[in-house]
Structure 1
Amino acid sequence: MDGSSTLLFDSASLFFRAFFGLPASLTGRTGEPVNAVRGLLDFLARFITEYRPERVACCWDEAWRPAWRVALVPSYKAHRVASGDVEEVPHDLNRQVPWIRATLEALGLPVVGALDYEADDVIATLARRADGPVEVVTGDRDLFQLVEPTRPTRVLYVARGVSRHERVDDAWLRAKYGVTGADYVDFAVLRGDPSDGLPGVTGIGEKTAASLIGRFGDLAGIAAHVGELSPGVRRALTASVDYLGPAAQVVTAATAVPLPDLDLTLPRAPRDPDAFAHLSDELNLGGSAQRILAALAGR
């Protein structure tokens, strides 16, 4: 890649948000909801228009709960399992996922996934491959670990809404949590993340986690100085010693996912205009279709 900018979308994070944020009354010709499809297209159009990337990728969860992560921390996303290894997803959203993928492919927006890896890992790998600026669009805090000033990489964080998204860099992280992107994995391991089934260290919240990292640098530094800690914190860390190492591996996004060489150039028109026109008609994409086409054309 050259020094031009890259915009990486955490696809599932965005289409889940679209599904729960838009009314089910948005339906296709068959009467089935298409709110996730339309919402995702509107989100993509907004970010492409605002940030004008040269390259884009819609990153995909080929494995939403990889076996290698579960082997490290069995509670990882366990509360989101419907049965076996199937994620609990509303039926009306599950029905839309193939339409989402077909629509992205008709547009020519690169859909990138890898067997046994989550979208986070694909995003991390593409971000580290890029030579120029990278911006990651997600509602997932775990990807704050990718923030760094040298490449540079920012997260466009949509937790407060797409229209109110926050531009997360090291200054934002210091103000919010007292850590940087380079510290974020160890911070998250100590604090825990109930949404991913990561318990953290009992009794250590965000402030204590940030203070420990500020004093000792990282988990290894904290472990090396455990004798200097207060009795309560020392007991908590000692009780969690078997959790810390595996949890750090689980939280860390893989940066060497075996991806082929990819052309992530932003298309200026649909790759398959007939297929996109058919999907637009069948799914009643209406203004959402027009907005993504305008975004691609640079209007």
Structure 2
Amino acid sequence: MSSPGTSTETLSPEPRLLLTVDAPSLLHRNHHARVDSGLRDQGGRPAWALHGMLRQILEVIDQFAPDAVVFGLDDRTASVRTETYPAYKAGRRPKDPTLVDQLERASALLDALGLLTVTPAGLEADDVSASAATWAEASGWSCVIVTSDRDSFAHISERTRVLRLINGGINGSPLLNPARLRTLYGIAAEHYLEYAALRGDTSDNLPGVPGIGEKSAPVLLSQMGSMQSVWADIDHCEGANLVAALDSYCEEEGLRRLGPGLLKRLTAPGARERFEFNLSLMSGRTDLDLGLTPDVPGTPGLLPLDADRVARVVGHLGVPSTTDLALRVLTEPPASVGG
């Protein structure tokens, strides 16, 4: 019997949480941040990037208590995007051989722990993140994407947040939801991909629509709602509503007129084609089979993990404090299971 004043209503349980990790972005970041440590595993192989990535993920798991963890990896042997656009990511400096070694060993390390890795043929870790967010939405789960890149911002929703690891570690990194993304970029989460396609991405060697950048793109999208509306207005009334909406906004904000100039740039030869091409190349695949079966005990990626495996695999890195942390956060039931 409940005590006086105590509600007898059953509270709805929190949705289970899927943590999806952009492993290559974290390995790159930790390689550059920790190379001076010269850390090697017990076999004498370079391990600073692997250890740094794992340490960060253990701290994230400790903070968020996920029910499952999946790591996305790039296919290092083939690229559908490079086949489509040979200049994709061209111009980047060759990777340090010690980083390449650790990128190639990441899957074996994580699989040996009992975590789940997905290396989609011809695709990238961001495609795994996109599919994980879609899977979580369809399954009634929440999702947190861990990355150091901006690509995953396109997947932010009411169920999916992005923890962008930057300087300052876990506690100093922003956890982005739709409201915070709008505060930072002035756009709705569902329009981030269109914003990125307009702006372009220099790191991937993708130029944006000429004359439209990080300041004008959010204004365009906030006033017109979507690029579909923009193109429809241009097609049906030569952009008259676009110009009127932008000029009205500028008048209210005390800014110089933007409408005619943006219309001219959007209707310039190749502008729409550039936007559509960027959109197609930047879009993450949402239909990958992650192999996650949460109702089957022992499925890779489900927490908790086997303590002996954790001690053996993490212990091979030769950092006792990380082994202790791994045993604590990986071998105990997550909060949503353990109550």
Amino acid paired to 1:236: R
- CA distance in structure 1 between the partners assigned to 2:232 and 2:181 by the alignment: 26
1:293 corresponds to: 327
Give the TM-score taking structure 2 as reference length.
0.77
1:67-216 aligned at under 5 Å gives the runs 67=80, 69-80=81-92, 88-130=94-136, 131-149=140-158, 152-163=159-170, 164-216=172-224
Amino acid paired to 1:115: A
Q: How much does 1:209 deviate?
A: 0.3
1:280 corresponds to: 315
Amino acid paired to 2:272: V
Amino acid paired to 1:39: G
1:234 corresponds to: 263
Q: How much does 1:19 deviate?
A: 1.0
1:50 aligns with 2:63: yes
Deviation string 1:10-56 (CA, Å, 9 cap, x unpaired) is 11111111111113422234654311111011011100100000111
1:267 corresponds to: 304
Q: How much does 1:261 deviate?
A: 4.8
Is the Cα–Cα contact under 8 Å of residues 114 and 258 in structure 1 kept in the other structure? Answer: no
Report which of the two structures shows the higher radius of gyration computed on alpha carbons: 2
Q: Size of the alignment, in residue pairs? A: 286
1:85 corresponds to: none
Q: How much does 1:293 deviate?
A: 2.1
Deviates more, 1:58-67 or 1:234-243: 58-67
- CA distance in structure 1 between the partners assigned to 2:42 and 2:134 by the alignment: 42
1:21 corresponds to: 33
- CA distance in structure 1 between the partners assigned to 2:18 and 2:87 by the alignment: 34
Is the Cα–Cα contact under 8 Å of residues 24 and 33 in structure 1 kept in the other structure? Answer: no
Q: Identity rate of aligned residues, in percent?
A: 30
1:40 aligns with 2:53: yes
Q: How much does 1:160 deviate?
A: 3.3
- CA distance in structure 2 between the partners assigned to 1:197 and 1:65 by the alignment: 18
Unaligned runs of 5+ in 2: 1-13, 244-258, 294-298, 334-339
Amino acid paired to 2:154: Q
- CA distance in structure 2 between the partners assigned to 1:58 and 1:73 by the alignment: 26
Q: How much does 1:133 deviate?
A: 1.0
Deviation string 1:73-130 (CA, Å, 9 cap, x unpaired) is 44321223x7xxxxx3211111223433222122111112221221111111122112
Amino acid paired to 2:312: A
Tell which has more relative contact order, 1 or 2 (C-alpha 8 A, sep 6+).
1
Is the Cα–Cα contact under 8 Å of residues 142 and 160 in structure 2 kept in the other structure? Answer: yes
Unaligned runs of 5+ in 1: 83-87
Amino acid paired to 1:266: L
- CA distance in structure 2 between the partners assigned to 1:186 and 1:70 by the alignment: 21
1:217 corresponds to: 225
- CA distance in structure 2 between the partners assigned to 1:167 and 1:148 by the alignment: 12
Judging changes above 3 Å, is the alpha-carbon distance between structure 1 residues 296 and 259 closer, same or farther for their aligned structure 2 residues?
Answer: closer
Amino acid paired to 2:222: G
Judging changes above 3 Å, is the alpha-carbon distance between structure 1 residues 280 and 15 closer, same or farther for their aligned structure 2 residues?
Answer: same
Deviates more, 1:286-295 or 1:126-135: 286-295
Give the TM-score taking structure 1 as reference length.
0.86
Please report the RMSD computed on the Cα atoms of aligned residues, expressed in angstroms: 2.4
- CA distance in structure 2 between the partners assigned to 1:253 and 1:129 by the alignment: 13
Is the Cα–Cα contact under 8 Å of residues 187 and 210 in structure 1 kept in the other structure? Answer: yes
- CA distance in structure 1 between the partners assigned to 2:74 and 2:178 by the alignment: 27
Is the Cα–Cα contact under 8 Å of residues 9 and 137 in structure 1 kept in the other structure? Answer: yes
Q: How much does 1:60 deviate?
A: 1.3
Q: How much does 1:259 deviate?
A: 4.1
Is the Cα–Cα contact under 8 Å of residues 70 and 76 in structure 1 kept in the other structure? Answer: yes
